[in-house]
Amino acid sequence: MELRAGRDSDIDTWKEVTLIYNSALKQISTKLEILNDEFQHVHRYNPIEHIKSRMKTSESIVKKLKRHGYESTIQNMIEHVNDIAGIRVICSFTSDIYRIAEMITNQSDINVISVKDYIVNPKSSGYKSYHMLVTVPVYLSDRIVDTKVEIQIRTVAMDFWASLEHKIHYKFEGNAPEHIRNELIDCARMVSELDAKMLSLNDEVLNLSKKTYE
């Protein structure tokens, strides 16, 4: 599958696309690692368990463009595909999700375009995560390219559920049997209960620790 260059695009080859979006991923990943280190230094606690990054393949991008009725050009890809570069931030507790989102928002060179809170408003499948679409400037030798990156922030339990749901979705090509979809919804409820219990337990431990040192 091939992506053709658009006449008005500053980025005219897939090789250049890969360079720019990979550079954006590196910048966001480095920022998150620094913020995590700072949080450990100040609060003696790491809100981020680990960070995963990925670039969407050209084949996936072409399929997405066709699905939405767009011609397969570099220009359309840049304008209409928001998840070419993606970063997933995995944390321990639900409270960490909003703490990390706030830290990202406060970065002066990161522009938040949109937010989708699937924790407050889960998808009908039971999917829960916090999505941010941001732009970060990539500094090239002759210009600056504001590049879109999708950031997903979720707990370990949410990520485990989403990984299984993703495998099932592709196994059945989006048409899983109803009983399996219902089981996934039940599992999503259990994940929410587990996250709530773990957060409550952590808060209790922190409170007991404070009393010990008073």
Active-site residue list? 150
Distance CA 214, CA 149 (A): 44
Nearest partner of 21 among 205, 65, 13, 119, judged by Cα: 13
* Under 8 Å between Cβ of 113 and 133: yes
* Under 8 Å between Cβ of 112 and 105: yes
Nearest partner of 10 among 112, 150, 146, judged by Cα: 146
Q: How many Cβ atoms are within 10 Å of 155's Cβ, its own excluded?
A: 27
